[in-house]
């Protein structure tokens, strides 16, 4: 079958529960797709714990385009206020305008401080100040980096700085840097809170990875409810199949959610993963399965017929 060229799709790999195998799926799917004559990009959006690169020892650092400074790393920054104590009249307007409790003021002893870790960089304090006492400086929230793994394949990693309040600005920058062309795989952060939503919001299709345990099912349900409200197409991969119970299967049938793939629990797969080895490199039959799954997802995206619709 000839390769279909110029495919354009964004697939997010997500899961409510952590450690179900998002990275396993993202890295193996990405590597499988590099076989196609297409531009393929993997974006590691798990900015708190980015791990995808560990599976691509051959990856070479590569510069971003000029929009992102033309270097291999682009620093994601946020502005934080600097208070000029000689102009400040300690009126408290900036503190009142701050929705994040990032300004600490003791009027009595004329002490004012910015708690940078709480600041979201909204600029409300600067707007509030009527005494020209607030300027801004930049602080780093993390970096995005670019790597090349083949002729048409590359990885963008979002890596938040330890201790920063939210990984979201770094994730958003990485997704933006990925652009709109080609096949893009987004390895999403766990959970269903803000970082997850930011990642899946831009996706055409979401692969939810779960495991057949009560914890896995409970978190899967929460992810499904969230994706329903977002009107996303999605399907489920059951990882470590055979390890727990069967309840996840009846849930999928009942909700008419497509089961995209099952990966059995066995020590060999676990051991390959533990060493940072790709399943599809060592077990070619998995490459075929990943490719088949991709084709199903792509045609569903391109030609409609979403089986999520009742």
Partner 1 sequence: MEIAVISGKGGTGKSSISAAFATLQEKVVLADCDVDAANLYLIFDPVNDYEQVYIAGQKASIDYELCTNCGLCVDYCSFDAILLKATEQGSDYKRVTIDEISCDGCKLCSRVCPVNAIKMTDNDKSRMYSGTFRNGYMVYGRLAPGEENSGKLVNIVRDKAKEISEKHKIEITVIDGPPGIGCSVISSVTGTDTIVIVTEPTISGLHDLKRTVELTSRFNSTSWVLINKYDLNREISEQIEEYCSQNKILFAGKLSFDRVVVEAMVSCKSVIEYAPDSGVSKEISHIWEKITHYK
Residue position matching structure tokens 């304090």: 125
Q: Which of 86, 162, 285, 304 binds partner 1 (CB under 8 A)?
A: 162
By CB under 8 A, is residue 123 in contact with partner 1?
Answer: yes
Going 301 to 305 to 308 to 309, the CA torsion angle's sign is positive
State the minimum distance, in angstroms, from the CB of residue 76 to partner 1.
Answer: 13
State the minimum distance, in angstroms, from the CB of residue 30 to partner 1.
Answer: 15
Residue position matching structure tokens 């385009």: 65
By CB under 8 A, is residue 136 in contact with partner 1?
Answer: no
**Residue count, binding to partner 1 (CB under 8 A):** 57
State the minimum distance, in angstroms, from the CB of residue 217 to partner 1.
Answer: 9
Count H helices and E strands in the chain, helices first: 10, 12
Taking each helix axis from N to C end, the angle separating 214-229 and 194-201, rounded to the nearest 10 degrees, works out to 60
Nearer Cβ to partner 1 (121/235): 121
Pair 201, 173: CB distance under 8 Å: no
Nearer Cβ to partner 1 (15/34): 15
Q: Which of 218, 256, 299, 307 binds partner 1 (CB under 8 A)?
A: 218
By CB under 8 A, is residue 233 in contact with partner 1?
Answer: no
Q: How do beta strands 233-241 and 259-264 pair?
A: parallel
Site for partner 1 in 83-122 (CB under 8 A): 97, 99-100, 120-122
Pair 13, 25: CB distance under 8 Å: yes
Distance CA 219, CA 191 (A): 8
State the minimum distance, in angstroms, from the CB of residue 302 to partner 1.
Answer: 19
Nearer Cβ to partner 1 (1/162): 162
How many Cα neighbours within 13 Å face the side chain of 155?
Answer: 27
Taking each helix axis from N to C end, the angle separating 168-178 and 194-201, rounded to the nearest 10 degrees, works out to 10
Q: How do beta strands 153-160 and 134-148 pair?
A: antiparallel
Nearer Cβ to partner 1 (254/274): 274
Question: For residue 103, what is the enclosing H or E element?
Answer: strand 103-106
Distance CA 294, CA 280 (A): 14
Q: Which of 145, 173, 188, 192 binds partner 1 (CB under 8 A)?
A: 192
Nearer Cβ to partner 1 (139/291): 139
By CB under 8 A, is residue 219 in contact with partner 1?
Answer: yes
Return the structure tokens found at 108. 């009595």
By CB under 8 A, is residue 231 in contact with partner 1?
Answer: no
By CB under 8 A, is residue 2 in contact with partner 1?
Answer: no
Distance CA 210, CA 291 (A): 20
Q: Which of 63, 204, 215, 291 binds partner 1 (CB under 8 A)?
A: 215
- Residues found near partner 1 in the complex (CB under 8 A): 16-20, 23, 48-49, 51, 54, 79, 97, 99-100, 120-124, 127, 160, 162-167, 189-195, 197-198, 201, 211, 213-215, 218-219, 222, 225-226, 229, 243-245, 267, 270-271, 273-276
């Amino acid at each position: 079958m000839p390769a279909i060229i110029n495919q354009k799709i964004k697939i997010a790999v997500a899961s409510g529960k952590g450690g179900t195998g998002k990275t396993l799926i993202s890295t193996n799917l990405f590597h499988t797709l590099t076989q196609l004559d297409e531009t393929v990009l993997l974006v590691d959006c798990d900015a708190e714990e980015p791990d995808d690169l560990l599976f691509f020892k051959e990856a070479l650092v590569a510069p971003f385009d000029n929009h992102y400074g033309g270097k291999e790393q682009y620093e994601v920054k946020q502005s934080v206020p600097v208070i000029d104590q000689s102009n400040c009249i300690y009126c408290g307007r900036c503190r009142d305008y701050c929705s994040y409790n990032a300004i600490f003021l003791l009027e009595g002893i004329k002490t004012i401080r910015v708690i940078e870790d709480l600041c979201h960089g909204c600029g409300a304090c600067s707007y509030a100040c009527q005494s020209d006492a607030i300027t801004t400086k930049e602080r780093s929230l993390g970096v995005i980096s670019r790597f090349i793994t083949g002729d048409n394949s590359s990885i963008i990693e979002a890596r938040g700085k330890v201790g920063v309040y939210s990984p979201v600005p770094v994730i958003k920058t990485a997704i933006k840097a990925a652009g709109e062309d080609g096949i893009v795989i987004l390895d999403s952060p766990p959970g269903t809170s803000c970082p997850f939503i930011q990642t899946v919001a831009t996706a055409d299709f979401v692969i939810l990875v779960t495991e057949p345990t009560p914890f896995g099912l409970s978190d899967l349900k929460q992810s499904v409810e969230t994706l329903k409200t977002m009107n996303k197409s999605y399907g489920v991969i059951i990882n470590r199949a055979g390890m727990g119970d069967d309840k996840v299967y009846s849930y999928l049938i009942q909700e008419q959610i497509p089961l995209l793939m099952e990966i059995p629990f066995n020590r060999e797969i676990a051991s390959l993963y533990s060493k940072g080895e790709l399943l599809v490199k060592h077990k070619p039959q998995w490459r075929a399965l990943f490719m088949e799954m991709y084709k199903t997802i792509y045609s569903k995206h391109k030609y409609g017929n979403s089986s999520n619709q009742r």
